[in-house]
């Protein structure tokens, strides 16, 4: 993506000679040179903003697993949230809202009439001619439980952000990287807050992640 941006900046600066543009291009080229080695040592994790080292027990993955559990517990309160997360990760094509580039944006990309930063999904479509493929992530329920439990311990001791702060951060990243949208509305904030379990929710849930209700309740 950075190389693609630089190529467009070089073409543009040739047509409009300006000292400020030249300085800006030089700064971007310097940035590209300084990050090229980092890119070889790290992998990107969805939604394509943060980078994390290629080892197990990723903090970012734990955050995403925790947020996935919060969402599923609201959507499907009578299912095992851990099992549902495992099922969706094993076959992400089952997700109800897949990340795709709209037909209108595809036409604008081809015509060069998008006058804003190109999102991660759009950049991939420009390069590959298709949406970002969803990769399967095989993981067992016990590993999900352990990963989230370690994160919850860090949250309890103040070493990690609260669940709400994490939801805010990841949702903002999603909006920026997939829709080019900075920030979100009060209604969206209320939606995120509604995902945080209340005290009654906590009392009604057993350690396995399943609701403590009988099948007939």
Phi and psi of 42, rounded to 5°? -125, 165
Cα torsion 51, 91, 168, 191 to 10°: value is: 170
Domain boundaries, the chain: 1-44, 51-98+134-203
Through-space distance between the first and last CA atoms of the chain, rounded to whole angstroms: 52
Among residues 55, 60, 66, the alpha carbon closest in space to that of 148 is found at 66
The winner for highest mean pLDDT among 1-15, 26-40, 62-76 is: 62-76
Least confident of 58-62, 109-113, 154-158: 109-113
Q: CA 54 to CA 41: how far, in whole Å? A: 8
Q: Higher model confidence: residue 19 or residue 55?
A: 19
Instruction: Please tell me whether the overall predicted TM-score, pTM, comes out greater than 0.95 for this model.
Output: no
Give CA 30 to chain center in angstroms: 27
> Where is 6: in which H helix or E strand?
helix 2-15
What's the rounded Cα separation, in Å, for the pair 161 and 82?
Answer: 21
Q: Which two tokens stand for residue 65?
A: 């697993």
Residue range 50-97, pLDDT digits in tens:
444 444 458 889 999 999 999 999 999 999 999 999 999 999 888 877
């Amino acid at each position: 993506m950075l190389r693609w941006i630089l190529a467009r900046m070089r073409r543009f600066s040739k047509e409009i000679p300006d000292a400020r543009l030249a300085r800006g291009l030089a700064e971007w080229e310097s940035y590209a040179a300084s990050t090229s080695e980092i890119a070889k040592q790290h992998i990107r994790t969805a939604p394509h903003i943060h980078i994390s080292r290629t080892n197990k027990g990723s903090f970012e993955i734990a955050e995403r697993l925790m947020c996935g559990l919060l969402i599923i517990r609201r959507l499907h309160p009578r299912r095992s949230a851990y099992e549902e997360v495992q099922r969706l990760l094993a076959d992400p094509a089952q997700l109800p809202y897949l990340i795709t580039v709209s037909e209108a944006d595809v036409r604008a990309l081809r015509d060069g009439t998008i006058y804003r930063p190109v999102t991660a999904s759009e950049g991939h479509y420009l390069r590959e001619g298709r949406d970002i493929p969803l990769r399967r992530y095989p993981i067992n329920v016990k590993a999900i439980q352990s990963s989230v439990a370690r994160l919850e311990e860090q949250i309890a001791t103040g070493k990690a952000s609260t669940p709400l702060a994490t939801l805010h951060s990841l949702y903002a990243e999603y909006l920026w990287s997939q829709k080019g949208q900075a920030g979100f509305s009060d209604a969206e904030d209320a939606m995120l807050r509604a995902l945080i379990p209340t005290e009654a929710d906590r009392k009604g849930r057993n350690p396995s992640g399943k609701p403590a209700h009988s099948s007939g309740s």
